Amino acid sequence: MKVFDPYHIGKGWTAYADHWLRAAKLSAGLAWTSLIAMVHAFIPFFMTDFVSLYVKKLHHDLCKK
């Protein structure tokens, strides 16, 4: 795992904006999923498949190039 990589994204504002948008969507999805998981921990019959389905979708999205 790299802490600092100046070559992580391409040059220019378009590459930066694309990277920011993808990272923002990813973090928002993870925050939402963690909230659902916390509710599910207290109410086990609420959204029983949501977290596992989102993790599978996340894996699929991150693995495609």
Q: What is the pLDDT of residue 13?
A: 87
Q: Which structural domain, as residue segments, surrounds residue 39?
A: 13-63
CB 31 within 8 A of CB 51: no
Low-confidence ranges of the chain (pLDDT < 70): 65
Predicted confidence (pLDDT) per residue in 21-33, tens digit:
999 999 999 999 9
Q: What is the pLDDT of residue 65?
A: 58
CB 50 within 8 A of CB 36: yes
Number of structural domains (the chain) is 1
Residue 2 in domain: no
Residue 1 in domain: no
CB 36 within 8 A of CB 26: no
Q: Name the nearest CA neighbour of 55 among 33, 39, 36.
A: 33
